[in-house]
């Protein structure tokens, strides 16, 4: 288990073990993840409460990114607990390690690991009480290594809280959103080409049940709001950064971008409704 110094990673740059994370780990994406975290922070904390995450526990943050949730988990478990934050993006882990030092959260450590691959020797260091996993499974070309790792790592009664999408293409703008609908389909196609599955939440129950997990709760975390609400702003935020990455990947043309901008202008000038991708919270327990 190692903390590593990091080199900045660009969009589409392979990580140390050669796998490519399709949203990138550059500074702009880090800032977007921070804004995204703020939008969904209350929903996340409510899920942790339902799963009884508490002081003194040992918790995992799978696909932690820059560690916005990991830092909160570390505060929650306190000095008597422990949090292990795992991700493959060195730049994100370096950011988190610096923040961990600055805040003197000694209960928090980071691990650089590709969660689509087995981890030799597992996580070691005794059983874990729970795991948090948000917006990671959708990017994994193989889910089995991470799920097998969890079965080994969690204690009986240990809980897994997942926030993943069941349908990403519910992301839409009404009453006028055809260019956005095309953009959504292009994102989905690109992520699938990279081995991901933006609708992964629907595949998780069978895989978890086969490993002995029991579903305690499942709920929709979704919104349909006018343009000035936080959830809609989160979607608009994604539309300011990701089209450029899609264009760089050869999947988005200047004409399509112009049509999208027209649509966004129209939506600003009229009452419009933004629907988020269908996020699902699932809480599982290992009996
Ligand atoms: C959208 S971000 C979500 C970050 C964090 N979970 C959150 O909720 O803010 C997805 C994260 O998954 C990580 N990731 C993608 N593929 C991975 C893999 N194969 N192994 C480990 N981490 C991976 C990325 O590096 C990125 O930090």
Task: Summarize pLDDT for 146-157 with one digit per residue, the tens.
Answer: 999 999 999 999
Distance 52 CA to ligand 1 centre (A): 24
Segment 262-275 mean pLDDT:
97
CATH numbers and ranges of domains, the chain: 27-166+196-223+279-285 (3.40.50.150)
Tokens of 121: 């020797």
**Closest-lying ligand 1 atom to the alpha carbon of residue 116:** 19
pLDDT of residue 199: 98
Distance 87 CA to ligand 1 centre (A): 6
- Rounded Cα distance between 41 and 78, Å, is 19
Question: Sorting pLDDT into bands at 50, 70 and 90, what band is 18?
Answer: low
CB 172 within 8 A of CB 181: yes
Residue 126 has pLDDT above 80, yes or no: no
CB 160 within 8 A of CB 154: yes
Q: Quote the percentage of the chain above a pLDDT of 90.
A: 85
Tokens of 118: 């087995």
Question: Sorting pLDDT into bands at 50, 70 and 90, what band is 26?
Answer: confident
Question: Sorting pLDDT into bands at 50, 70 and 90, what band is 11?
Answer: very low
Mutate to test the pocket of ligand 1, among 9, 63, 111, 163 (most ligand atoms within 8 A of CB): 63
Task: Summarize pLDDT for 185-213 with one digit per residue, the tens.
Answer: 999 999 999 999 999 999 999 999 999 99
CA 270 distance to own-chain centroid: 32
Rounded to two decimals, what is the model's pTM?
0.93
Cβ < 6 A, ligand 1 pocket: 19, 21, 23, 25, 33, 37, 63-65, 68-69, 87-89, 92, 114-116, 134-136, 139-140
């Amino acid at each position: 288990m190692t903390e590593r110094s990091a080199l900045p990673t660009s969009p589409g740059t392979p990580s140390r073990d050669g796998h490519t994370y399709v949203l990138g780990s550059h500074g702009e994406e880090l800032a977007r993840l921070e804004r995204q975290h703020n939008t969904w922070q209350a929903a996340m904390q409510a899920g942790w409460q339902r799963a009884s995450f508490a002081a003194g526990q040992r918790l995992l943050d799978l696909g932690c990114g820059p560690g916005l949730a990991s830092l909160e988990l570390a505060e929650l478990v306190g000095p008597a607990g422990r949090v292990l934050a795992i991700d493959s993006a060195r730049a994100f882990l370096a950011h988190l390690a610096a923040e961990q030092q600055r805040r003197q959260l000694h209960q928090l450590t980071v691990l650089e690991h590709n969660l689509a691959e087995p981890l030799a020797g597992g996580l070691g260091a005794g059983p874990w009480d729970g795991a948090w996993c948000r917006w990671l499974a959708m990017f994994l070309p193989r889910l089995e290594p991470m799920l097998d790792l969890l079965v080994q790592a969690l204690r009986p009664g240990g809980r897994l809280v997942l926030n993943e999408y069941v349908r990403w293409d519910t992301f839409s703008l009404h009453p006028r959103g055809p260019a956005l609908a095309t953009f959504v389909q292009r994102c989905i196609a690109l992520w699938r080409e990279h081995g991901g599955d933006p609708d992964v939440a629907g595949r998780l129950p069978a895989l978890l049940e086969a490993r002995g997990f029991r579903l305690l709760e499942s709920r929709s975390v979704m919104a349909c709001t006018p343009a000035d609400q936080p959830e809609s702003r989160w979607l608009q935020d994604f539309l300011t950064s990701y089209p450029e990455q899609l264009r760089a990947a050869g999947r988005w043309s200047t004409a399509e971008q112009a049509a999208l901008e027209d649509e966004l202008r129209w939506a600003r000038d009229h009452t419009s409704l933004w629907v988020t991708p269908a996020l699902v919270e699932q809480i599982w327990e290992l009996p």
